[in-house]
Chain A
Amino acid sequence: MRGTRARRALYWIATHALALALAAMFLAPLVFVGLTSLMTDQQALTSQLWPHSWNWDNFAEVFERSPLLRWLANTLLYAVLGTAAMLLSSIPVAYALARFRFPGRRLAFLLVITMMMLPPQVVAVPVYLIWARAGLTGTLWPLILPMLLGDAFSIFLLRQFLLTIPKEYVEAARVDGCSDLRTLIRVILPMARPAVAAVALFQFFYCWNDYYGPLLYASTNLDNWTLSLGLASFKALHSVQWNLTMAATLLVMAPVIIVFFLAQRVFIEGVTLTGVKG
């Protein structure tokens, strides 16, 4: 009896020690970014890890040296409009795929998966030409407007979730004479709130983090740069040291991390949803 208790205690210590060590490794990069962002330029040239003095005005200097607010405004425009457009177009499609019976519904679903899995670079040339002909290259519109026509990943995720809502709710609403649109808005959407919140957050973060899209369409026009484009060139373009680069990096990370702590549950539930069993 005592033997198993000692073994259990040892097991507890071993697993928790390992977890603590790993947690330290996961957090270390963020800690070093934070420490470096507060150093002087001179110290950033050395390998000392702890700031001699705490230079909070590094953050102010980032704003002075680069059009960070402009990049932020462009990023917000892309993320907010992109997410709103995606929700508007994808929710009805996901609902139809989950609940309507019609010939070809299975094929439609398989095509959604195929689109979801298609690397965006595969169709990049013809799609770019469409936007060039429309005169919209150099702006972020080629990234926002397609969201009005649905996003495969969001449709997929929403459909998987909507399938878990018992059919009886839809049938009951139908018996009561509710139209499909009304059923979706009044009955289904309130129950699907976690999934809608999850896809909205994922889409917002996708836009916020996107580098490939803005690089393809907006890199030639400095007025339409996003945070990703700006940060990617920050160190070379403004010929600055690591301290200011890390301050800029931290400023780009901060909103994301704050949103995460405010909506942690939505994230974890949403990610779990993406591991769907089918």
Chain B
Amino acid sequence: MSIRWRRREGLHALLWLSPWLAGFAVFFLYPLLATVYFSFHRYDMFTLEFIGLDNYRYLLHDPRALVAIKNTLWLVAFMVPVQLVFALGLAQLVTRLKTGAGLFRTVFYLPSLVPLVAGTVSFVFLLNPATGPLNEALRVIGVSGPDWFGDPAWSKPSLTLLGMWGIGNVMVIFLAALLDVPRHLYEAAEIDGAGAWRRFRSITLPMISPVLMFSAVTGVIYALQYFTQAMIAARVASGTTDSPGTTFVPGYPEMSTLTLPQWLFYAGFRDYSMGYACVLALVLFAASMVFTLVLLRRFRGLDEEAGVR
């Protein structure tokens, strides 16, 4: 292949990639650099003033930012693992069903399609302490249910329940991976006298680990940008609206549902402290890059093989 020909191919590829390259420059590279630039400034859309590291110093003394970071970490550390284990359990169960497996798969998958806002509004109703069906059911068996979305100790577990209800898409991914594991491996292990747990640990887990890893990384990234469900739950449970000019205390109840992206949104687009919002954005960026790198390492190795397949 001559150099000239390769150069032509390169230019040709450039032409095909040009829409994406423009998108990369305008909606990724430039905004990232601008975010770093604004983080050293005070900016409210009218005046721009260089203030050095003041925004960064403020972060350390902003109680709401610290609570928001803590809440986001809670979601990463608890909600994501609970959702993944639950999805894997559901998928395992479906593989064992001799009758109606397809129907059950559909039922478990369906809630993941329900629009986030609609699903969250529904859960605030279902779990409302006064007339909600869940506490009503608990009363029947003699348990007095908690205040769910109205109690700071229960609001994040309530969001986790909502997340488990909508985990069907991950369940479908796991199910496909489980069905891909060659049956003869299990048969051989059974002949060797391996128990169910042993077979799961030594065959199932290693065989599905690439899929598991991909789902874990994307799950963490989604938890880092967790916004809609927390915001809607807080709004509906506290009875406030999105209309211009209304006041709303974010993170109801008692900031327990305030996540980092939400606080960024309030700082930047309601208080117009845009420089400070950029500092919060960089914190979010750093956290997400750690997990993105895990994924990049995997795809870097596999890409070439995949190319010649």
Contact = CB atoms under 8 A, between A and B. Distances in A.
Given A113-B299, A125-B35, A257-B110, A231 B28 contact: no
Contact of B93 (A22, A101, A148): A22
12 contacts: A96-B17, A102-B9, A110-B299, A119-B288, A129-B34, A148-B19, A216-B265, A220-B244, A242-B128, A256-B113, A275-B176, A278-B302
Interface in A35-65: 36, 44-47, 49
Given A12-B98, A232-B121, A124 B264 contact: yes
What are the 3 closest A-B residue pairs judged by CB atoms, nearest first? A149-B23, A275-B173, A123-B31
Interface stretch (A26-34, A170-178, A185-193): A26-34
A100 B121 contact: no
B198 interface: no
Contacts of A1: none
A93 B20 contact: yes
A163 B106 CA distance: 29
A220 to B, nearest CB: 5
Contacts of B27: 123, 127, 146, 149
A123 B28 contact: yes
Contact of B239 (A36, A146, A236): A236
Interface stretch (B73-81, B149-157, B249-257, B278-286): B278-286
Contacts of A112: 20
Contacts of A119: 221, 224-225, 261, 284-285, 288
B97 A126 contact: no
Contacts of B224: 119
Contacts of B236: 232, 235-236
Interface string A119-148: 111111111111010000000000000101
A237 interface: yes
A4 interface: no
A128 B277 CA distance: 12
Contacts of A49: 133, 136
B148 interface: no
B221 A19 contact: no
Nearest to B95: A15
Main secondary structure, interface of A, reads helix
A12 B243 CA distance: 54
A248 to B, nearest CB: 8
A92 B106 contact: no
B243 A222 contact: yes
Interface in B114-143: 114-119, 121-123, 125-126, 128, 130-133, 136
Contacts of B105: 268
A29 to B, nearest CB: 6
Contact of A205 (B113, B210, B215): B113
B296 interface: yes
A123 B235 contact: no
Contacts of B122: 29-30, 32-33, 246, 249
B125 A123 contact: no
A10 interface: no
Q: How big is chain B's contact interface, by range? A: 35 or more
B189 interface: no
Contacts of A113: 292, 295-296, 299
Contacts of B146: none
Given A124-B281, A236-B235, A252-B115, A29 B299 contact: no
Contact of A127 (B31, B304, B307): B31
A262 interface: no
Contacts of A100: 9, 12-13, 16
A277 B211 contact: yes
Contact of A245 (B12, B125, B265): B125
Interface in A202-216: 205, 208-209, 211-212, 215-216
A103 B10 contact: yes
B60 interface: no
A92 B15 CA distance: 10
Contact of B34 (A90, A126, A246, A267): A126
B21 to A, nearest CB: 8
A182 interface: no
Contacts of A222: 243
Nearest to A47: B131
Interface in B191-243: 210-211, 214-215, 217-218, 221, 224-225, 227-228, 231-232, 235-236, 239-243
B281 A121 contact: yes
B47 interface: no
Contact of A125 (B93, B210, B274, B303): B274
